[in-house]
Amino acid sequence: MLSVSQIISIIIFVLMFALIASNKVKRHTAALVAAALIILVVFFGIMRDPGGLWDFLNIKQLGHTQFWMPGDNAVESLGFNWQTIVFIGTMMITVGCLETAGLFRWMCLYTARLAGCRAMPILISFMVLSGFLSMFIGSITVMLFLSTVTIELGRLLKFNPVSVIIAEIFASNVGGSATLIGNPPNIIIGTSFGFNSSDFITNTGVIAWVGMLLAIVYFYFVFRKPLKQDIKPEEMMKSCPLPSSAIVNPRLFKLAVAVFILIIVLLVTHAYTGLSVATIGVISAVLSLAFAGRNANKIIKNIDWRTLLFFVGLFICVGGLEVSGVLTKIAGLIGDISSGNIGIAVAIILWISTFLSALVDNIPFAAAMVPVIGSLAATGSISLPAMTWSLSLGTNIGGNGTPIGASANVVGIAIAEKEGHHIGWGHYIKYAIPPTILVIGLCQLLLFWRYV
């Protein structure tokens, strides 16, 4: 039987999910209202445990040296996930600097010219670029500039950009599953369990890029006819903008490149340097603001505070489910079904994550599942790493299934709509669901091969 606090926590969380999926209420508004209800009704009302809320928020961890410099110890974000909040907030500043410098647009134009400014090579090369960049910066940012440049190139080179944008969205979600900081679900998962960048790259990274190769083959055969161009190769190169057109301030551009390389190096080596991802985010933000000069105020003003507030509300809602014991019951249910069999547990987590992440935003689902697999692992019968990689791959790649499954989908489709290219649900699903099933099926085979 469920207690009153558990029933209320579930109702509030489901209502938040429904409001986010409806797109009628801003997701940060839905999360904050739900968080307020969890605090007032569950923590203060039913459970009468204000101290439990304070313990969950765990603000004091921000003052601990281990939060910022854990050394050889794994950083586990106990209670409220401050590692995720600090890292995402500071990376918004860094990405703002890189955008201002024109680095991302330069990459797109340079890649397009390497591809001979032909539609099919652009599709393949932009998928690789989308996947690679999404390993290190948010897929939302990747789709913001990549879809914009794709539409511009489609207009100049006479091809329909919709096919390329769908492929880019798919690649960004697959690439984002490859690293700790690629997509918000991975940041939540990694910082909750203390996994570092090397752990993700050597596990989800290998599997994700094998899946990427399969996705590239799929989109090549599906879109090779729609992307046929009736324009001569020499005319294509003349129509394609030069990469140098993206560089407005050469000095800022060089500094932005240096910061970008430094971030990648620090993130890849943070298991050896002893720096947490929150510390790396702060370092990159400070350098970015210092190099931005007069643009610093503009970058700070453009920080997406709504996304940060969404995470705050989300973590409090998940905290209500955790403290009331709902997530422990879910873990017990999965444990009973799998009977301690790691293969069954991996399959359940992978496919449930895929299915639900296609229907609702994958961020709250990942946040809710973290304590579940943590509880399963605590019994000692099922491997935590195997469940972690299954959850990561399922939530990130499964988000490709529908236009609302992941933030990258929403952004890419919205930009296309703004420029007059409508991407309906039917059209998107027709091309996105088959590769999602194919790649997730491949992921399951590889997960079984490595961990079962």
Instruction: Report DSSP letters for 406-436, one per residue.
Output: SHHHHHHHHHHHHTT----HHHHHHHHHHHH
* Other beta carbons within 10 Å of 98: 24
Q: Which stretches does DSSP call E strand in 173-324?
A: none
User: Which residue is associated with the tokens 């401050």?
Assistant: 82
Q: What total number of domains does the chain contain?
A: 1
Output phi, psi for 406, to 5 deg: -145, 160
pLDDT at 118: 87
Tokens of 74: 């794994």
Supply the angle between the helices 139-157 and 82-100 in degrees, to the nearest 10: 30
HSE toward the beta carbon, residue 98, CA cutoff 13 A: 27
Contact 311, 84 (CB under 8 A): yes
pLDDT at 361: 65
pLDDT at 394: 94
pLDDT at 354: 92
Alpha-carbon gap, residue 403 to 426, rounded angstroms: 10
HSE toward the beta carbon, residue 325, CA cutoff 13 A: 9
Domain that holds residue 15: 4-57+103-246+304-451
Alpha-carbon gap, residue 313 to 317, rounded angstroms: 6
Sign, Cα dihedral of 161, 412, 115, 254: positive
Is 187 a member of any domain?
yes
Q: Identify the burial level of 220 via C-beta atoms within 10 angstroms of its C-beta, where 0-12 means exposed, 13-18 middle and 19 or more buried.
A: middle
Contact 253, 51 (CB under 8 A): no
Is 165 a member of any domain?
yes
Structure letter (DSSP) for residue 242: P
pLDDT at 340: 73
**CA distances for 422 relative to 5, 140, 156, 159, 431, angstroms:** 44, 19, 19, 15, 15
Alpha-carbon gap, residue 341 to 34, rounded angstroms: 36
pLDDT at 147: 87
Is 76 a member of any domain?
no
CA angle, 174 as apex, 180 and 81 as ends, to 5°? 30
pLDDT at 223: 93
Sign, Cα dihedral of 41, 42, 43, 44: positive
Structure letter (DSSP) for residue 207: H
**CA distances for 368 relative to 124, 290, 356, angstroms:** 35, 37, 12
Contact 100, 146 (CB under 8 A): no
Length of the chain, please? Answer: 452
Alpha-carbon gap, residue 211 to 438, rounded angstroms: 8
Residues with Cβ within 8 Å of residue 225, at least 6 apart in sequence: none
pLDDT at 72: 60
Give the CA dihedral 195, 201, 206, 210, nearest 10 degrees: 110
* Other beta carbons within 10 Å of 408: 31
Query: Nearest to residue 227, comparing CAs of 131, 153, 332?
Result: 153
Is 147 a member of any domain?
yes
Is 266 a member of any domain?
no
Tell me the average confidence (pLDDT) per consecutive run of 10 residues in the chain, 452 residues long: 82 83 79 88 74 74 79 57 80 84 86 87 94 85 84 86 94 93 84 85 94 96 83 71 85 88 83 81 90 84 82 81 75 75 89 82 76 78 87 92 80 82 87 96 94 80
Is 256 a member of any domain?
no
Alpha-carbon gap, residue 1 to 418, rounded angstroms: 49
pLDDT at 426: 87
User: Which residue is associated with the tokens 């503009």?
Assistant: 298
Could you tell me the maximum CA-CA distance found in the chain, to the nearest angstrom?
73
Tokens of 8: 């209320």
Which stretches within 177-249 are classed as H helix? 184-193, 197-200, 206-223, 233-239
Is 190 a member of any domain?
yes
Is 276 a member of any domain?
no
pLDDT at 434: 96
Query: Nearest to residue 66, comparing CAs of 57, 58, 75?
Result: 75
